[in-house]
Amino acid sequence: MPQQRSGLGTRPTTDRVRESLFNMLAARIDFAGIAVLDLYAGSGALGLEALSRGAASALFVESDARAAAVIERNIAALGVDGATVRRSAVAAALSTGAPVPVDLVLADPPYEVEDAQVLDMLAALATGRWVTPGSVVVVERSASGPEIAWPDGWTPWRTRRYGDTRIEPAQRDRRGLSGTRPGRVPPC
């Protein structure tokens, strides 16, 4: 049975939020064969859900050693292929640049992470070539905080609220950007 790591700074995504998130994504994304980046991965539940829906690969980035160990155990318990765990702070991991671009980024930073750090993360995803035109990024934040002011180059989708959680998806713009992978993710 998959495990969760709860502790200081760790706030697992509830089953209701995860189910709603993936139902929303399934209406727009064909998961078959996509590459996923799970940032602030916690127990790895979001990336593992994407793998269970047909994603070819998922890179889990988690700074907490105990949480990273839980992700490893969950991967082993579920017997999924294509999963890689990188124990690192998100900013450090993104600064290395992408080995390959991803189609879907799932970011669930602790609510204490400041909005400026979230914007830095979005910038690093683009400058490090983690995302290409058509890639989708979903950020989970506290419903009580301000919504993300998405930088140029992103088209926000409808924000959704579930209790104290807000889900903010956006898609990397296709127009005027090179490297698109047509047909992978339908436009908004």
The residues facing 161 across adjacent strands are 166
Are residues 92 and 66 in contact, defined by beta-carbon separation less than 8 angstroms? no
Query: Which parts of the chain sit beneath pLDDT 70?
Result: 1-13, 175-188
CA gap 63, 50 in Å, rounded: 21
In this prediction, residue 185 carries a pLDDT of 43
Domain ranges of the chain: 15-172
The pTM assigned to this predicted structure is 0.86
Are residues 54 and 35 in contact, defined by beta-carbon separation less than 8 angstroms? no
In this prediction, residue 102 carries a pLDDT of 98
In this prediction, residue 11 carries a pLDDT of 52
* pLDDT tens-digit map of 153-162: 999 999 999 9
Are residues 33 and 54 in contact, defined by beta-carbon separation less than 8 angstroms? yes
User: Residue 171 carries which side chain, given as an amino acid letter?
Assistant: Q
In this prediction, residue 176 carries a pLDDT of 41
In this prediction, residue 18 carries a pLDDT of 79
What is the CATH number assigned to the segment(s) 15-172?
3.40.50.150
* pLDDT tens-digit map of 116-137: 999 999 999 999 999 999 999 9
The residues facing 27 across adjacent strands are none
In this prediction, residue 15 carries a pLDDT of 75
